Each structure stands twice: as structure tokens, then as C-alpha cells.
Structure 1
Amino acid sequence: MRIGELSRRTGVPVPTIKYYVREGLLPAGELTSPNQAAYGETHERRLQLIRALLDVGGMKVAEIADVLTAVDDPTRPLHQVLGTAADHLSDADAERDDTESAAARTAVTDLIARRGWRTDECSPAAADLTKALAAMARLGHGAFVEVLDDYAEAAEQVARVDLAYVDRRAEVEEIVESVVIGTVLGEAVFSALRRLAHVDASAKLYGEDGPPARTTPARTTPARTTPGRTTS
């Protein structure tokens, strides 16, 4: 197919496709004449992946290029490809140096050790967790660390489901691509599912069928007195 057809199939404008080719995100088409190139299903699939990482994963073009380089490297182990994709989901802002951050770092380190996770406590994901816990502590919710293991158990189950999905793929290229999709887009899927579950749980707990709404005690207005007079 020509670039115009590729654009129509994917919804990506022609100038953007050419930009992706220049940046190395998309392989160039096969030249059929000095001014014409042919594109195939591989190009269409890669474009869909790029747009998904950009639109749903929230990645920048440079980050996508880094992830795709890992995907296209046949010598790179799947575990490293997964790590590359996961690292680009992290918040780049530096941690604050305060009491809450120090306590959060300790909590994260203890969690990793307690769960026996084979991961680096200095990884971007661990840093993100530290920042989130520290922010909660500053808002008066430091006790959230008490439910970390419950969250970790749920996360382990989701991770197993993610990788079980990846294992369904027979071709190495599909496996690598599935690792990226499961990591980046799976993050968006799980976040949306969690929000839906929150709405349902809130409706059951606080809705019409749940416990009665909390009421605020009525304020009492003190009796007004006139100077020089008393009230009985």
C-alpha cells in the first residue's frame, strides 16, 4: 500500500508518518520508484503500537524510540525489554528530601524484602511508590503503609495474568510486543478497572443501600443578651 492508504488505515496523518520514519520509530517503506514507497502490514502494526504508546501510555516520542529499540533488539532478553517499558512509565520528578520521604523509602525497601521481590529498590517504580507514600503521609495518611501488603498481593496477581497473556504468543516478535503492550497499556487498563471498582464499592458502601449518611451536629446559637439585662 502507499503512504496515503497507510494513513487512512491507521488514522495517522501522512506528515506524522514521515516524521516517525525520520526519527527511526517506523521503518522506511520499500521504494517502488524514486518518489514512491510501498508499505505493508508490518508498518501498519508498528504505527498502531506507536500511537497506543503515545495516546494511551502517555509516552513521549523519545521514550517510544527507546522502547522500540529494545523491542527490535533480538539479543535483548525479554526481562530487559519489560524493564525498559516499565521504566518509561515512571515520574521523572526528583524525590523530596524530608522526613516523610525517608520513612517512605524505608517502607518500600522493607516491602520489597518482605515480599521477596527480585527487583532493585532504586528502580523508577520503587521511586514512584516512595513519592506516592510520602505525599500521602504529608496529607495525614501515613497509615496507608499498613495496607501495602494487600496492594502488593493484588499487584502480584495482576502481574501473573499479564505474563500469562504474553506466554500465549508463539512468535518471538509477538512475545516482545506483547510484553510492551501488557506493561504500558495494561497499566491504563488496570487503572481504569480500579476506578470502576471504586465507584461500585462506594455505591454499595455509601449509596442508597449502604449505611446512612453521616450527619453533622446542628450548631447551637448562644442567646443574645442586652447590656444591663439578664436572661432567665
Structure 2
Amino acid sequence: MQLKELSERTGVSPASIKFYLREGLLPAGQSVHATRAEYSEHHVSRLALIQALRRVVGLQIAQIGSLLRMADGGAPRLELLAAVQRTVLGLDDVSAAHGDLRTPAGDAVVRFRNWPDVPSDARNALNAQLVLMESLGVPVTAELLDAYSQAVDAIAAVNISATTAPEDVNQLIMTAAVGMHLHSQLVLKLLALAQASHAIRRYEQDA
């Protein structure tokens, strides 16, 4: 298909497609003429991914470009998924500020759930949160961490089975990035509803 048809199929303007081509987010089409190229289903899939990362997840062009260069460079799936999580959830800022950070409470969580005892941006982010809460005098007991980690472990098991299923790298990033963003928001909204419901029950009984 030519540029016009690619634009019509994806709903992305020709100007935007040309911009993505210049920025390296979209691979060049197969040249058939000095001023004409043919585009494939891969281009359709890649444009859908770019639009989702921008509009749904809210990533910047530079962030999208970094993820796509990893994907096109053949990065291992685990490394790619870690980069997606780091970017979508903003974990890179924490690691940049604190480096590899360990806390007794964070180590305890890993033991409670028998999670791999390895450094990661997610673990650094948890430990930074624990340090912050301790500095503010907000208690984080072993019982609380056990209960919280048990709940999120069950959620993560469901998430990751869907996230790692696609073989196509565009679909893999799409599922992981959009899934992490939307499921994280869903968990927060469910938690808010649960907190509100418990408060209503408690104060209705008091009244």
C-alpha cells in the first residue's frame, strides 16, 4: 500500500507518518520509485502502537523511540518488558535518584512471596517508597506488607500471562504498555472503592 492508503487505514495523517519516518519510529517503506514507497501490515501495526503509546499511555516521542529501538534491535523479551514497565510506570526516575536501594522491609516482601531476589527498577521503587513512608512516620508492618504483597501477587500473575502472550513485537509492547497503564489505574480505582465501602460501613454503624 502507498502512503495515502496507509493514512486512510490507520487514521494517521500523512504529515504525522512522515514525521514518524524521519524520527525513526516507523521503518522506511520498500522503495518502488524515487518518490514512492510501499508499506506493509507491519507499518499498520507499528502506527497503531505509536498512537496507543501517545494517546492512551501518554508517552513522549523520545520515550516511544527508545522502546522501539530496543524492539527493532532484537532486545530479549524480559529486557524489553522491563523497559516498558520502567517507562510506563516512571520507575526510571527512582532508579536514577537512588540507584540500587535495599531495605529490610523490601527484602522481607521478596521472602514472603518467594519472588526472585534480584535488583530491578521495580524493587528500587518499592524500597524508595518504604524509605519515604518511614521518614514520614507512617508505619509499614510485616503484616501489612504480607497482606498487600499477597493481593498484588495474584493480580500480577493474571496480568503477566496476558502481557507475555503475543509473539509480534509491536503487539507485545502494545499489550504490556497499555495493560500496565490501564490495569494499574484499575487497581487504584478498585482500592479507592474498597476503602470508601469500608468507611461507609464503619461510620454507618457508628451512627
TM-score (norm 2): 0.77
Match of 1:112 in 2: 110
Q: What residue number does 1:50 align with? A: 50
1:95–1:127: 8 Å Cα contact kept in structure 2? no
* Counterparts of 1:65 and 1:119, CA distance in 2: 31
Q: How does 1:127-142 map to 2 (within 5 A)?
A: 127-142=124-139
Once residues 167 and 124 of structure 1 are traced to their aligned partners in structure 2, the CA distance between those partners, rounded to angstroms, is: 19
1:133 partner letter: L
Q: What residue ranges of structure 2 are gaps of 5+ in the alignment? A: none
Aligned to 2:30: 30
Residue 193 of structure 1 corresponds to which residue in structure 2? 186
Could you tell me how far apart the structure 1 residues matched to 2:35 and 2:46 are?
A: 23
Determine the C-alpha separation between the residues in 2 that align with 1:13 and 1:133.
Answer: 46
User: What is aligned with 1:180?
Assistant: 173
Q: RMSD of aligned C-alpha atoms?
A: 3.1
Deviation at 1:185, TM superposition (A): 1.6
Q: Which has the higher helix share?
A: 2
For residue 149 of structure 1, the aligned residue among 146, 162, 179 is: 146
Cα distance change of structure 1 residues 137 and 8 upon mapping to structure 2, 3 Å threshold: farther
Looking at structure 1, the residues matched to 171 and 156 of structure 2 have their Cα atoms a distance apart, in angstroms, of 13
Report whether the alignment pairs 1:81 with 2:74: no
* 1:199-224 deviation per Cα after TM superposition (whole angstroms, max 9, x unaligned): 432443234xx233699xxxxxxxxx
How far did residue 126 of structure 1 move? 1.6
Match of 1:3?
3
1:133–1:145 contact (8 Å) kept in structure 2: no
Q: Which residue of 1 aligns with 2:93?
A: 92
Cα distance in 2 for residues equivalent to 1:203 and 1:58: 28
Q: 1:92 is aligned with what amino acid? A: D
- Asked if 1 retains the 8 angstrom alpha-carbon contact of 2:6 and 2:39, the reply is yes
1:193 Cα deviation after fit? 1.5
SS state at 2:140 partner: helix
| C-alpha displacement of 1:85 | 2.0
* Distance in structure 2 (CA, Å) of the matches to 1:120 and 1:83: 13
1:57, CA displacement in angstroms? Answer: 3.0
Q: Structure 1, residues 105-157: CA drift from partner, whole Å, max 9, x if none?
A: 33223322443322533x22122212222333344323266422333223332
**How many residues are paired up?**
202
| Cα distance change, pair 46–140 in 1 and its aligned pair in 2 (3 A) | same
1:177, distance to aligned residue in structure 2 (A) = 4.0
Give how far 1:46 is off: 0.4
Q: Conserved in 1, the CA contact under 8 Å of 2:10 and 2:47?
A: yes
8 Å contact kept, 1:111–1:149:
yes
Q: Which has the larger radius of gyration?
A: 1
Alignment match, 1:64: 64
Measured in 2, the distance between the counterparts of 1:205 and 1:23 equals 50
In the aligned structure 2, how far is the partner of 1:142 from the partner of 1:95?
A: 23
Q: Is residue 50–residue 64 contact of structure 1 (8 Å, CA) maintained in 2?
A: yes
Query: Quick check: 1:81–1:179 contact (8 Å CA) kept in 2?
Result: no
Paired with 2:22 and 2:38, the residues of 1 have a C-alpha distance of 16
Task: Call closer, same or farther: CA 1:180–1:120 in 2, change over 3 Å.
Answer: farther
State which drifts further: 65-74 or 43-52: 65-74
Q: 1:181-206 deviations in whole A, cap 9, x for unaligned?
A: 34322221222222331343244323
